[in-house]
Chain A
Amino acid sequence: MRTWIGKQKYLIDFTLSSLARRKTKTLVLLLVYTLIVFLLASVMLFTHALRQDAVHALAHAPDVTIQRMVAGRHDLIPESYLGKIRDIRGVQSSAGRLWGYYYDPQVKANYTFMVPPADGGVTVATGHAVVGAVIARELDLRIGAPMVFESYSGNIFKFTVDRILPVESELLTADLVLVSEDDFRAFFDYPLGQYTDIALSVTNPQELRNIATKVTTRLPNTRAVVRDEILRTYESIFNWREGIVLVLLFGAVLAFAILALEKASGLTADETREIGILKAIGWETGDVIRMKGWEGALISITAFLLGYIAAYVHVFRWSSALFEPVLKGWTVLYPRLELTPSVDGMQLATLFFFTVLPYTAATIVPIWRAAITDPDTVMRS
């Protein structure tokens, strides 16, 4: 065993000096390899972090949301429905929610106006508002500043900014404006006794679907949106988008594999000569293969580490400047994301399969072909 380790050390020693003797070629290969790892890792890290954040944020969404449907479209829901739902076994609490969209022609963006839930810990006085960090940024608002909007019915409303929501919650609160119930109803001409939807919280999470079904049975013109299903959809979409981008990048991976193939098989005259010499002075094919294998391994490890670290910095320090548009979806208001860093074993394994695997596969045959040089070719040259 010790001899085996000693021998590997010799082989690695030779590999390192061999790589050093061909600096340009090695550096070019390393650069391209690292770039590939960087690109793929960036995509993976970014979507993973987004996904985590979305899941985390969705944790605050209501367990079940009940919406009234008219002709297949979402309509207002009357207060009386609350009474019919309250006594369903398993419903912990139910409350009507008020929220809606407002289009601001100045910024050409949609805001979400919302009345904070009674148990949310946030209360807004009439004439005041709590806004999300991105709106504050876009409209350059500070605490105490006024916001003036023209409602859809043509009236002017003024709100004083009480508070700006914390930056950490940007993903979900980017476009949020919290106002009091009176303000909301006045601003949108919202009829009394009607809500946008009803939020339910449920005692046993396993019963979500069952309870949802009970509600829709009792109130046939409603539909129930279960939070887990939203999560599932988000997961699906994120994964799907990530997959598409990766597949597109696969072209790059393929090109890289070809480069690797060329590099390994297009051994320069010097490299072929060297292997011939090694064979002649007493190295056998297996030794040469192992030595070249170490070469591949060292390059792979270095590129993998460098590429991954660079991707990490890119995503978590520089907010993935390159990818945001595609992966977050179209919107005018871009939250400035401070994603929570997370490294994931599965991600690393997937990345490994997308990068190190093609490289290794592409280089096995060329390495072998070089290694089987006859020892006596050196004599004949």
Chain B
Amino acid sequence: MFFQPAIIALLFASAANVVVLVGVSPFAVAIVRHWDVHSGSERQLRLERRTYLMSALVTFVLGVQLVALLLFVFNADRMAAMFVGAMCAVGTLNVNAYGFPALIAQMAVFFAAATWLAVNHVDTQAPDYPLVRTKYVWLLVLAPLLIAAFALQWRYFLGLKADVITSCCSRLFSSQVRGLSGDLSAWPPLPAMIAFYASLGVATITAAFVAAKQRGGYALAIASLGAFVMALAGIIAFLSLYVYEQPHHHCPFCLLKAEYGYVGYWLYVPLFLATASGLAAGAVQRFATVPSLRAIVPATCGRLARVAAVGFAIVAIVATVIVLRSHLILIGHVSTGVTP
């Protein structure tokens, strides 16, 4: 079970990330302790040179994480054929208790790396590198997160046994199940739709505002997070129904399958990019009061906000296209949420 190429690849990539970041932690510590931008001593010069390596490595990690996230979900979907009761990624992830946590950890690493790179970009625009210490402390926090992600993936993949009967998405995402997935599935479509479009609308408008005025990064971060959560909730609650043209199939992973035109990617990729940009804008905003960054932070916030606005807008548009093109009619027939 272990010797799937995709699993080997994922573990290898995750291990590479861990090695990379754990390997440079001592240097990060050195930077935090000894950094003095005004000194011309050889030690300072060496530290400065090291910062280039750090940026390059975190960029590497981010790139890897992006592809890994996609591969992880794709693989989970493919492997469903090997598990009894699994018909899509949900089943594969449910085989043992580490599946979903591993996925969440991957997403967390992605967002964390993106945020760090945004802060790093802002910092290096200012001649006195004002955020160095903060940055590298954050980096030291990122390292354990990567280790956690690797450990979770390791335990998950190691625990994949074909003789475990797992539950399929119809079990997990049915309105009768207790718990979050059940509640989301039981949410009636009209309120879900309103919440979905409202949160995306708020996020898009906030992003546009921030892009124009170059202020308000915090608001954007919160709006992005809200939109992210609401969008996922909305996808489970109603959007997936339109995609599958079935009033009870709520699974958020089956969207990624070929038979639905891979529409899931059109939703998730812009959503993730937009959320990452929004969060990054919030993180960058935190440093708006630093004197040397007064001109830089607004400009960067603005650029990030533009990406977020476009991303959220795409999600809303794709969702609308799905609803309009679907043969399913949900609004206009009463859904009691009770499965026969």
Contacts of A191 in B (CB 8 A): none
CB atoms of B2 and A243 under 8 A apart = yes
**Could you say which of A289, A349, A358, A365 contacts B70, with CB atoms under 8 Å apart?**
A349
What is the number of residues of chain B that contact chain A, defined by CB distance less than 8 Å?
33
For A278, the chain B residues whose CB sits under 8 A away are none
Within 8 A of A (CB), among B36-59: 49, 52-53, 56-57
The residues of B that contact A364 with a CB separation of less than 8 Å are 53, 56-57, 60
Q: Mark B44-82, 1 if CB is under 8 A from A, else 0.
A: 000001001100110010001001101100110010011
Q: Is B9 a contact of A372 with CB atoms below 8 Å?
A: no
Residues in A239-284 with C-beta less than 8 Å from chain B: 239-240, 242-244, 246-247, 250
Specify which chain B residues have a CB less than 8 angstroms from the CB of A244 in the assembled complex.
Answer: 3
B52 A371 Cβ-Cβ under 8 A: yes
A231–B81 contact, CB under 8 A?
Answer: yes
Give chain A residues whose Cβ lies under 8 Å from the Cβ of B13: 353, 357
Q: At the interface, yes or no: B6 with Cβ under 8 Å from chain A?
A: yes
Q: How far is the CA of A361 from the CA of B5 in the complex (A)?
A: 19
Give min CB distance, B110 to chain A, whole Å.
Answer: 15
Does chain B have a CB within 8 A of A321? Answer: no
Interface of A: prevailing SS: helix
Contacts of A232 in B (CB 8 A): 81-84, 162
**Chain A residues in 8 Å Cβ range of B1:** 236, 240
Contacts of B67 in A (CB 8 A): 349, 352-353
Question: What is the bound-complex CA distance between A316 and B67, given in angstroms?
Answer: 27
In the assembled complex, B12 has its CB within 8 A of some CB on chain A? yes
The answer to whether A345 and B74 touch across the interface, beta carbons within 8 angstroms, is yes
**Closest chain B residue to A367 by CB distance?**
B56
Is A368 in contact with chain B by the CB < 8 A criterion? Answer: yes
In the complex, the answer to whether B52 meets A368 with C-beta atoms within 8 Å is yes
A-B contact count (CB 8 A): 90
**B22 at interface by CB-CB < 8 Å:** no
A69 CA to B162 CA, complexed, in Å: 25
Q: How large is the interface on A (under 10, 10 to 19, 20 to 34, 35 or more residues)?
A: 35 or more
- Known contacts A365-B53, A368-B56: A346-B3 contact under CB 8 Å: no
The answer to whether B53 touches A368 (Cβ under 8 A) is yes
B335 within 8 A of A: no
Interface string of A73-103 (1 = CB under 8 A from B): 0000000000000000000000000000000
Chain B residue at minimal CB-CB distance from A369: B53
By a CB distance below 8 angstroms, the chain B residues around A368 are 52-53, 56
Once the chains are docked, how many angstroms separate the CA of A354 from the CA of B52?
26
Q: Which of B2, B12, B60, B78 is close to A353, meaning CB atoms less than 8 Å apart?
A: B12
Contact B71 A346 (CB under 8 A): yes
Chain A 331-355 near chain B by CB (<8 Å), digits 1 or 0:
0000000000000011001101110
Distance of A260 Cα from B63 Cα, bound (Å): 20
A286 interface residue (CB < 8 Å to B): yes
CB-CB contacts of A364-378 with B at 8 A, as 1s and 0s?
A: 110110011000000
The 8 Å CB contact of A361, one of B10, B20, B53, B84, is B20
* B49 engages A285 (CB within 8 Å): yes
Chain B residues in 8 Å Cβ range of A239: 3-5, 82
A134 close to chain B: CB less than 8 A: no
Does chain B have a CB within 8 A of A360?
Answer: yes
Whether, in the assembled complex, A324 has its beta carbon less than 8 Å from a beta carbon of chain B, the answer is no
B68 CB contacts on chain A under 8 angstroms: 353
A178 contacts the other chain (CB 8 A): no
Among residues of B, the one whose C-beta sits closest to the C-beta of A229 is: B84
Q: What is the bound-complex CA distance between A179 and B16, given in angstroms?
A: 58
> Considering the chains assembled together, what is the distance between the CA atoms of A357 and B63 in angstroms?
10
Known A243-B4, A350-B5, A360-B60; judge A285-B82 contact (CB<8 A): no
Residues of B within 8 A of A246 (CB): 3, 5, 8
- Mark interface residues in A217-247 (1 if CB within 8 Å of B CB, else 0): 0000000000000011001100110111011
B residues less than 8 Å from A286 (CB atoms): 52
Separation of A12 and B309 alpha carbons in the complex (Å): 31
Q: Mark B1-33, 1 if CB is under 8 A from A, else 0.
A: 111111111101100100010000000000000
A346 in contact with B81 (CB, 8 Å): no
Q: Are A243 and B5 within 8 A (Cβ)?
A: yes
Partner of A240, one of B3, B6, B12: B3
Q: Which 4 A-B pairs have the closest CB atoms?
A: A243-B3, A353-B9, A372-B49, A349-B71
Q: Assuming A242-B3, A349-B9, A371-B52, what are 7 further A-B pairs, CB within 8 angstroms?
A: A231-B81, A240-B4, A243-B4, A243-B8, A353-B9, A364-B53, A368-B53
26 sample A-B contacts, Cβ–Cβ < 8 Å, listed by A number: A209-B84, A232-B81, A232-B83, A236-B162, A239-B5, A239-B82, A242-B5, A243-B3, A243-B5, A243-B7, A246-B3, A247-B8, A250-B8, A345-B74, A349-B6, A349-B74, A350-B6, A353-B67, A354-B9, A357-B12, A357-B13, A361-B16, A361-B20, A364-B56, A368-B52, A372-B52
